[in-house]
Amino acid sequence: MKLPVLKESLYCIGALLIWLAVTILFIGFRPEHVFMALLIAGMFFASAPTRRLVVALLPFIAFGISYDWMNLLPNYEVNPVDVEGLYSTEKSLFGISTAAGMLTPNEFFAIHHVPLMDFMAGIFYLCWVPLPIFYGLWLYFSGKDYDYLRFALVFLLVNLIGFGLYYVHPAVPPWYVASHGFEAVPGTPGEVAGLGYFDSMTGLGVFNALYARNANVFAAMPSLHSAYTFVAFIYAMIIGSSRTWKFILGFVTLGIWFTAVYTSHHYILDVCGGIACSLAAVLLFEQVLMRMPAFSAWLGRYAAYIKFTKK
């Protein structure tokens, strides 16, 4: 077993201690935080291949931490929450005329839902983070270290842009209006909305568990659910991944876009915002950052460090 050099060891231990200290002091202790810290440290010191994998996964680790750290300063304490504005705009742009009056697409689907789509909606939404990470790992273990990093860093960049917009424009999801009206009440717990049908069908309770721990319900615009697999699809096209990967990522992306609206978790406007975030992140990374010699050189060193070698 080849141990990391002292400098690397200090970076790893120091970063983990800072993360745990900030999280425990300002958010609260959860056993999974310690578990993840021990897992990361164990992989980092276990062997050179697992150490390279930990460093390769840093963009995804940073994504998870940044999402959790949104609890440090709730966005509704920074700017007013948009409750009625998005709802009214959605209805004016995409409203569906019915005998009961004009409905948003979310309201229409809440009345007209079918078991098959309820089930598929759950399948699609379970893919929103795991599938992009799995695609990234496939790139990495296929020896495409440089391409993997491009995708992983853009994935992180999409999140940073999206999280920033959550603070600029806090907004409620459609289910909030249906359940609570047009008044923003801080501390309102998350709801499964239309995804509850999947939980009822399967008895798994997976979405009830996920949304019970939602970091912030006032973070609906843009829809990052709509961005993640889309970014993976974009890079599958750029990199030239197999037709199978392109089909899977494209199909799931379309499914997630529809599901976001179908289950009342997002407006069509939110989905468009997520798509815009994805395109902006790709353009910023590929057309601005990658054209900076210092950044491209750093990326090359990063790719060389994490290079996966089969033994």
Average pLDDT rounded to a whole number, residues 223-251: 96
Q: What confidence tens digit (pLDDT) does each residue in 80-122 have?
A: 999 999 999 999 999 999 888 899 999 999 999 899 999 999 9
What pLDDT does residue 71 have?
A: 86
Of residues 205 and 262, the one with the higher pLDDT is 262
| Number of other CB atoms surrounding residue 73 within 10 Å | 11
pLDDT tens, position by position, 141-173: 999 999 999 999 999 999 999 999 999 999 999
What's the rounded Cα separation, in Å, for the pair 40 and 160? 22
Q: Give the model's pLDDT for residue 9.
A: 87
Please indicate whether residue 286 or residue 201 has the higher confidence score (pLDDT).
286
Q: CA-CA distances (angstroms) from residue 181 to 84, 115, 304?
A: 9, 27, 53
pLDDT at site 187: 79
Mean pLDDT of 240-265: 96
Q: What is the pLDDT of residue 214?
A: 65
Residue 19 makes CB contacts below 8 A (sequence gap 6+) with 37, 65
pLDDT band at 233 (very low <50, low <70, confident <90, very high): very high
Question: What confidence tier does 53 reach under pLDDT thresholds 50, 70, 90?
Answer: very high
Q: For the chain, what percent of residues have pLDDT higher than 90?
A: 72
**pLDDT, tens only, 115-147:** 999 999 999 999 999 999 999 999 999 999 999
CA-based nearest residue to 163, from 212, 126, 230, 215? 215
Q: Which amino acid is at 222?
A: P
Kindly report the pTM of this predicted structure. Answer: 0.92
Phi then psi for 98, rounded to 5 degrees?
Answer: -135, 175
